[in-house]
Structure 1
Amino acid sequence: MSSSPQYPAPAPRDFSGADAEDLALYRETFRRRMPESLEKLHRPTRGVVELPLHRAWSGMTSYDLHKPRQRMGLYRIVLHDGLHDDLPRHLNRDLLLQMWPVLRTLVGRTVRTVWEDAFPSSPPASGQPRDGHAELHRRLLVTEWTDDEAFAAYGLDETTIAALRTWAVEWADDLAARLLGESDDPDIG
């Protein structure tokens, strides 16, 4: 799960005094939640995951693992808000490793740093897609999280932005299904 030249980790800032102490305590809260190894993350890769309301405080409690956006949202919530026992209950090692290039951009810097420090040289997930397909999938998913202003800077209006997002999400969902081995097409999986 280490950073790479393609996905560099942000440079740490210099903190001193109370700020450094607060940051160290904040990081320690996430470190205590960590599993001893990624092998402890054994949640099934299919089906619907039900989060308890105290974890899914935004209101959505059911996450369909077949839907990439819901799966990404679930993992983001659990990584940021989950306790030690929540991680193996709701996360799967292979899915986490597959989604990490995008997921690491959606979680806070502290969560990302703690996970990448704890598992710097994690082995690739079984069935890990080729880099080109994974990068395409990442870029398609990022359109969902990109601010409208970024698209408007390229001259896109609201209708075009909405259509672009719909197209990208549909394509990402299709590509995710193929990357997860649900396709008979030998060029994809």
Structure 2
Amino acid sequence: MRRYAKPIVVADDLNLLRGRTTGVITLPRHLDWSGAADYDLDSPGRIVDLYRTVLIEATKPDDLHSFLDRTVLERLWPSIWLPPELRRAWEQGFPELRRTVSEAPAA
């Protein structure tokens, strides 16, 4: 079994997740070095990409607090692909994120 090699960063508190929810965001290079770091939050596919990227690449809780929004995270959570260890760490810290896809509102 392959282990998740990156340090796992989890928000200090879901209420601190107060990132923007509309418009275009450009992630800093330490979060997205792909050359496609602009994310249109009004595009359903791009907002999922942004959340997945920030969750996986965050190096400190401030990265999460700055770019994620609690309400959006809770809505998207069931549909975001994440490494199992990362998903488990978030769900252990925030049990309210644990819900089945059938319980989740449509993204």
- Superposition TM-score, scaled by structure 2 size: 0.82
Q: Deviations over 1:124-182 (max 9, x none)?
A: xxxxxxx5862xx5xxxxxxxxxxxxxxxxxxxxxxxxxxxxxxxxxxxxxxxxxxxxx
Larger radius of gyration: 1
| Structure 2 residue aligned with 1:61 | 37
In structure 2, relative to structure 1, the CA distance for the partners of 1:59 and 1:118 (3 Å cut) is same
* Offset of residue 50 of structure 1: 1.0
Question: Larger relative contact order (C-alpha < 8 A, sep ≥ 6)?
Answer: 2
| Structure 1 residue aligned with 2:67 | 90
Say which of 66, 76, 79 aligns to 2:52. 76
Unaligned runs of 5+ in 1: 1-12, 14-18, 123-130, 138-189
CA contact (8 A) 2:25 2:39 kept: yes
- Percent identity over the alignment? 34
Q: What is the distance in 1 between the residues matched to 2:39 and 2:64?
A: 15
- Superposition pairs of residues 95-110 of structure 1, within 5 angstroms: 95-103=72-80, 106-110=81-85
| Structure 2 residue aligned with 1:111 | 86
In structure 2, relative to structure 1, the CA distance for the partners of 1:66 and 1:109 (3 Å cut) is same
How many residues align? The count is 104
State the secondary structure of the residue aligned to 2:39: strand
State the secondary structure of the residue aligned to 1:85: helix
Runs of 4+ in 1 over 6 A off after TM superposition: none
* Offset of residue 101 of structure 1: 1.0
Instruction: Name the one with the larger helix percent.
Output: 1
Q: What is the distance in 2 between the residues matched to 1:53 and 1:36?
A: 23
* Offset of residue 57 of structure 1: 1.6
State the secondary structure of the residue aligned to 2:25: strand
In structure 2, relative to structure 1, the CA distance for the partners of 1:50 and 1:132 (3 Å cut) is closer
Unaligned runs of 5+ in 2: 98-102
Residue identity in the other structure for 2:46: Q
| Structure 1 residue aligned with 2:23 | 47
- Superposition TM-score, scaled by structure 1 size: 0.48
